[in-house]
Amino acid sequence: MQMQAAVFRRYGGPEVVSVETRPRPELKPGHMLVKVLATTVSSGDWRLRSLTVPPGFGWILRLMVGWRAPRAASQILGTELVGEVVALGEGVNRFPLGTRVIAYPGGRLGAHAEYCLLSEKCAVVAAPAQMNDEAAAALSFGAMTAYDYLLHRAELKKDERVLIIGAAGAVGSAAVQIARAQGAHVSAVCSATKAEMISALGASEVIDYQSADPLQDEAAYDVILDAVGHAPWSALVRSLKPGGRAALVVSGFATMLSAGWKSWRSGRRCLVGPASEKQADLEAVLALYQRGQFQPLIDSRYPLANIQEAHARVDSGRKCGNVIVRVQRAESTMAQGE
């Protein structure tokens, strides 16, 4: 059996991605086969494809994915999807056949294809009937990252002041909503052209980074989440209250190694490291969606055949939220709410 998949055989720009015919994944014990309905091109896909990573991580990524070119197992990108369960391997009975599911393969990748083989250990939930494919496809990457950093690591509390740097991205726009749902006072940093949209997500204040320094005020915030990795540590420390927390979604290798020392020396916690891919976190962000406290922000939509354009949109740095890739439509249960 064959399928269409977006494949990259070398590192580089959007042009290195092409849609090819590949063998459909073979069902294995402990796995389920999902027909992919929609997915996203995320910042994680961009970093892997282009090797645009924080300082010190280039060689680590090459060791993991492939030194000169991506290994065959890593050539199909895609960290999140909505799809329909079409086959169950031995020992798997979480979902009946035909169930529309939201899945987060995360670092296992593979979502940019018509079919994706998911381990039983992968974070997967049943998609609510009223949730359309676009929202379902974009539910996990940004929100699970923001949820982990804000609630697990930074332990954000009600009435605390939080600054979200990079509020217009998939992670940042989710962070604004999750922080607001937690009862925090949210200040968001983005360009002026996106201010109205980010304000509508629940930000009490929107700061245009092109006209003002969002870190100019001393001891202003309990938590700062930096989703883009551009803020220097000295500026973060100045703007954090004593005992404040800097949640660095994007950070260099040296910063990760020195996080403990930075925390001890400054009296502000430096929080770094890969985001969670836990089942419980996916369930938590879905619950936020169902309560009306989180809605994935959609920037643009492309068919799988135009996935180079989707990658180019992410590369542009101008997207606001998530870039959706429509792969195929369910034959049985069509996207409910579309």
187-246 residue pLDDT tens: 999 999 999 999 999 999 999 999 999 999 999 999 999 999 989 999 999 999 999 999
Residue 18: beta bridge partners? 7
Tell me, yes or no, whether 45 and 100 share the same domain: yes
Whole-number pLDDT of residue 334:
38
- Whether 289 maps to a domain, the answer reads no
Q: Which CATH number characterizes residue 92's domain?
A: 3.90.180.10
Dihedral of the CA atoms 259, 263, 264, 266 (nearest 10)?
Answer: 130
Pair of tokens at residue 231? 């803020």
- Whether 331 maps to a domain, the answer reads no
Q: Whole-prediction pTM value?
A: 0.93
Tell me, yes or no, whether 131 and 185 share the same domain: no
- Please state the rounded mean pLDDT for residues 64-92: 94
Tell me, yes or no, whether 21 and 72 share the same domain: yes
Express each pLDDT in 129-172 by its tens digit. Answer: 999 999 999 999 999 999 999 999 999 999 999 999 999 999 99
For 71, the 3-state DSSP assignment is: coil
Number of Cβ within a 10 Å radius of residue 319: 21
Tell me, yes or no, whether 10 and 129 share the same domain: yes
Tell me, yes or no, whether 200 and 262 share the same domain: yes
Tell me, yes or no, whether 53 and 85 share the same domain: yes
Of 271, 287, 308, the one marking the end of a domain is 271
- Whether 258 maps to a domain, the answer reads yes
Whole-number pLDDT of residue 333:
40
Whole-number pLDDT of residue 120:
84
Tell me, yes or no, whether 39 and 159 share the same domain: no
Tell me, yes or no, whether 149 and 253 share the same domain: yes
Tell me, yes or no, whether 146 and 265 share the same domain: yes
- Whether 6 maps to a domain, the answer reads yes
Tell me, yes or no, whether 6 and 135 share the same domain: yes
81 pLDDT more than 70: yes
Whole-number pLDDT of residue 230:
87
Tell me, yes or no, whether 153 and 265 share the same domain: yes
Backbone φ, ψ for residue 301 (5° rounding): -135, 140
**What share of the chain in percent tops pLDDT 70?**
97
Candidates 336, 337, 338; CA nearest to 99 is: 336
Q: Which CATH number characterizes residue 177's domain?
A: 3.40.50.720
| Residue 201 · residue 297 · CB < 8 Å | yes
Answer positive or negative: Cα dihedral of 118, 121, 122, 125: positive
- Whether 291 maps to a domain, the answer reads no
- Whether 229 maps to a domain, the answer reads yes
**Helix (H) and strand (E) counts in the chain:** 10, 15
- Whether 135 maps to a domain, the answer reads yes
- Please state the rounded mean pLDDT for residues 54-65: 90
Euclidean distance between CA atoms 294 and 202, whole angstroms: 10
Tell me, yes or no, whether 157 and 199 share the same domain: yes
Domain that holds residue 168: 142-271
Check residue 169 and report its DSSP letter: B
How many independent structural domains does the chain possess? Answer: 2
- Whether 288 maps to a domain, the answer reads no
